[in-house]
Amino acid sequence: MEKLKQLIAESNAQFRKADHLAYVTYPMIRETKLLYAIAEVLYDSLEKGVRAVLEYERMYKRIPLVPGTLDTELEIFKDVAGKYGFNRNIVLLLMDLRQLINAKKKGPVEFVRRDKFVICDDDYTMNVLDINKIKAYVMDSREFIEKLNRVMRAK
């Protein structure tokens, strides 16, 4: 139970940080590279939220205690999401953010162009981040985090 509470608390803290960065800090300083930092923090928040739901399911032995990658956990989460009323699009958002983070880690080129942060893959496929995209990510995540807090408090 302690691990569950810790995951939820960390998820909430990371979400508040991403929300503050997107809606308060970024408009004040207008540093485009901050967009990637917001995406990383948001990814961490969502990942911990998904792990919290799975931890809850493991506590009651509804799913097996199989250590796995995030991909396997997301597949399990897809099955569990409907039970608690979570929107399955959160999985797509998480995968999109992970792909973006991996592209930055492995990609050879990144640059700023007209208030957009551009990350290129090895084959120079471009991933573009702008504030509108980040705000859309934050809004979708807010719905998930609020639902997570309601569902896990009620249990």
Write the pLDDT tens digit of every residue in 12-45: 999 999 999 999 999 999 999 999 999 999 999 9
Residue 14 resides in a domain = yes
Residue 117 resides in a domain = no
User: Taking the CA of residue 33 as centre, how many other CA atoms within 13 Å lie in the half-sphere pointing to its CB?
Assistant: 3
Residue 107 resides in a domain = no
Q: Which amino acid is located at 138 in the chain?
A: V
**Measured between alpha carbons, how far is 60 from 57 in angstroms, rounded to an integer?**
5
Retrieve residue 82's tokens: 């409907």
The CATH number that applies at residue 12 is: 1.20.120
Is the Cα torsion angle 102, 6, 136, 151 positive or negative in sign? positive
Residue 40 resides in a domain = yes
Q: Which amino acid is located at 64 in the chain?
A: P
Give the structural domain span for 7. Answer: 2-96+133-154
- List, for residues 52-102, the tens digit of each pLDDT value: 999 998 888 888 776 778 788 888 888 888 888 898 889 999 999 999 999
Q: Which helix (H) or strand (E) holds 145?
A: helix 131-154
| Closest residue by Cα to residue 49 from 101, 99, 84 | 84
Retrieve residue 32's tokens: 């485009």
Whether 155 has a pLDDT exceeding 90, the answer reads no
Residue 123 resides in a domain = no
Residue 73 resides in a domain = yes
Distance of CA 114 to CAs 40, 67, 120, 128, Å? Answer: 21, 43, 16, 11
Residue 128 resides in a domain = no
Q: Is the pTM of this model over 0.75?
A: yes
Retrieve residue 6's tokens: 């810790």
**Measured between alpha carbons, how far is 99 from 67 in angstroms, rounded to an integer?**
22
Q: How many domains does the chain have?
A: 1
Residue 113 resides in a domain = no
Retrieve residue 134's tokens: 């980040």
